[in-house]
Amino acid sequence: MTQKRCRISLSQISYTFHSIQQNSPNIWTQGQIQKDPLESIPIKESIISMNPMVLVTGGATRLGREIALCFASEGWDVTIHYNKSRELALALQSEMAGLFPKIKTQLLKAELSSEEGVTELFYNTVAHTGNALQCIVNNASLFEPDAGLDFTAALALDQLKVNLLAPMKLGQCLANFYLENHKAPVSPLQNRPSIVHVLDQKVFNLNPDYFSYTLSKLALERAVSLQAQSLAPTVRVNAVSPGLMYLSGEQTPENFAKASQVNLLQQAIDPKDVAKSCYFLASTPSLTGTTIKVDCGQHLVPLARDVMFMVDELFAQKP
């Protein structure tokens, strides 16, 4: 089997992007990536931008939205990837245009469960940003309930594709892009491009719920060091490990209000703190192979099950 690798030069990007648009009009509707002309930024204008660019997967909602806003507030242009949240992505783009008029944003729709979809997402990002792409935050995640006794190979594989393989492929693409286009050694004082993976405090505080999801995040956590070694010195690789920040699955607001206090600091985790940690990792040249736990100490409170299933028991024990 021939291994597929992302080897992309700026000249290839220009040719490939225009060739796709002119000669393959149906590629955007065949399952991997769809692009709305109203959401794009002219190639020449965006390539000459002097701002660094971040690609945030799953960037339209929840934590991804906070990450996009945080980087924009620091002067970065932002590419917001989405899959099913187009209206929310458009609303965020409009909001950011009002808040940060000097910042460029673009929206890209892609399905991260296929290698082709991930590669096309990267192609289209650099087609509009060129060398400005300095960071990819792998925030998008598939989160489905199952257990060790009932998981299926199909569901486990779906989550591995989105939660593990897509981040690995985007890292490969970023490293090969800079290897092809930046032959000169990087100055020690210059910030290298980086990857930031979004983990889950569960990987440091195991319980058996969400079995396949947890397996995928465990693999991603181990990959932080391995990918950092593999892509050095071209690309830095780091991660954040947040705790409970948003309603999960069928969780009720009442359950969430209590569950969000089950950590050492007994307070809800502010998603803005996680976003700021992502920016810190992206903007600090000396960091690679590092994970920041942004969870108010939740990973130090072991539970037999996911916290949402333990709330009644935990609060019944309180005087």
pTM of the model: 0.86
What are the residues whose beta carbons fall under 8 Å from the beta carbon of 290, sequence distance 6 or more?
A: 224, 238, 239, 281
pLDDT tens sequence across 18-50: 433 333 332 222 233 344 433 333 333 444 568
pLDDT reported for residue 5: 65
Of 227, 238, 240, 221, nearest to 286 by C-alpha is 238
Contact 233, 186 (CB under 8 A): yes
Q: How confident is the model at residue 7 (pLDDT cuts 50, 70, 90)?
A: low
pLDDT tens sequence across 136-185: 999 999 999 999 999 999 999 999 999 999 999 999 999 999 998 865 44
- Domains identified in the chain and CATH numbers: 10-254+269-297 (3.40.50.720)
Sign (positive or negative) of CA dihedral 31, 36, 42, 47: negative
For the cut 60, the answer to whether the pLDDT of residue 198 exceeds it is yes
Query: Please, how many CA atoms are within 13 Å of residue 102, restricted to the half-sphere of its CB?
Result: 8
Torsion, Cα 112 139 40 19, to 10 degrees, reads -30
pLDDT tens sequence across 247-282: 987 889 999 999 999 999 999 999 999 999 999 999
Structure tokens at 24: 């393959």
pLDDT reported for residue 16: 44
As a whole number of angstroms, the distance between CA 156 and CA 214 comes to 10
As a whole number of angstroms, the distance between CA 190 and CA 300 comes to 36
